[in-house]
Amino acid sequence: MAASQQTEVESVRFGVVVFPGSNCDADSYDAVRTFAGADASYLWHKDNDLGELDCVILPGGFSYGDYLRCGAIARFSPIMNSVRRFADDGGLVIGICNGFQILLEAGMLPGAMHQNEGLKFVCKLVNLRVENNETPFTTGYEPGQIIKVPIAHHEGNYFIDEAGLAEIEANGQVIVRYSDETGETTKAANPNGSLGNIAGVCNRERNVFGLMPHPERVCDEIVGGTDGRGVFESIISAVTAKAATR
């Protein structure tokens, strides 16, 4: 990488929100700083100020103990008002696992999450088919590319009503689906019963993305894969491309 490019990447600023119960905050921080080479900082859930940021990460974990429903309490954290404003202004927001659940509860993404069909906590590597690579989060992948990313959740069974499903399908808001190794979205490849094998969706404007799988956990060969890096590299590309047009 040329020196100027390196500096450009370092100037991309990620903020990782830490809720009481977040446990993938450090993984997200490392994925951004160590493997993607960008800047990252932690944001405390009680703060209001995001500072100058290019992307907010809502990490995995069990915010507020997942009491009542996953993400139901976290959406009322003071920082979420700022995150919502940031998103409304076009800022990039990605919610991973519990972060996805929080975005659903906050109404920043369509749909809702309920318990896995099998009633079990599922922790394993799954295949994902990239459905839409024309988002700031997925340009690093080919359309239809199969990536291996781990999941670890008890409530990842995505639901949306019929009209909502038709809308997100038509708008290309379904970003990743659970599939087998050949890309077939079979029932056997669906780990939690999600409607339409949906693993991740974005909003209509494409700047808010939530997914149950953990790309931040597969950014280093030492943990068995690097398929998750594409997500963070895509975000960096989107931010630097936008900066270049200013």
Partner 1 sequence: MMKAKVYITPKAGILDPQGLTIERSLPALGFEGVSNVRVGKYIELELPDGDAGEAVDQMCHKLLANPIIEDFEFELVSE
| Shortest distance in whole angstroms from residue 206 CB to partner 1 | 22
Q: Which of 161, 186, 241, 243 binds partner 1 (CB under 8 A)?
A: 161
Question: Which stretches does DSSP call E strand in the chain?
Answer: 13-18, 39-44, 55-58, 92-96, 112-114, 122-130, 146-153, 157-159, 174-179, 198-202, 208-211
| Shortest distance in whole angstroms from residue 110 CB to partner 1 | 9
C-alpha closest to that of 97 among 22, 18, 30 = 22
C-alpha closest to that of 93 among 172, 20, 165, 201 = 201
Q: Nearer Cβ to partner 1, position 11 or 115?
A: 115
**Given the rule CB under 8 A, which of 30-38, 80-88, 113-121, 223-231 is the region that contacts partner 1?**
113-121
Q: Which two tokens stand for residue 34?
A: 């160590």
- What SS3 state is found at 237? helix
Confirm or reject binding of residue 115 to partner 1 (CB under 8 A).
yes
End-to-end alpha carbon distance in the chain: 23
Question: Cα–Cα distance between 144 and 119 in angstroms, integer?
Answer: 30
Residue 121: Cβ within 10 Å count: 11
Confirm or reject binding of residue 116 to partner 1 (CB under 8 A).
yes
| Shortest distance in whole angstroms from residue 75 CB to partner 1 | 9
Q: Which of 33, 159, 183, 240 binds partner 1 (CB under 8 A)?
A: 159
Confirm or reject binding of residue 122 to partner 1 (CB under 8 A).
no
Confirm or reject binding of residue 166 to partner 1 (CB under 8 A).
no
Question: Cα–Cα distance between 108 and 156 in angstroms, integer?
Answer: 17
Confirm or reject binding of residue 119 to partner 1 (CB under 8 A).
yes
Q: Which of 13, 33, 69, 148 binds partner 1 (CB under 8 A)?
A: 69
Alpha carbon distances (Å) from 57 to 96, 102, 111, 137, 213: 8, 11, 20, 12, 14
Confirm or reject binding of residue 193 to partner 1 (CB under 8 A).
yes
Confirm or reject binding of residue 148 to partner 1 (CB under 8 A).
no
Confirm or reject binding of residue 154 to partner 1 (CB under 8 A).
no
Q: Nearer Cβ to partner 1, position 118 or 224?
A: 118
Query: Where do contacts with partner 1 occur on this chain (CB under 8 A)?
Result: 68-69, 72, 76, 105, 111-112, 114-119, 157, 159-161, 193
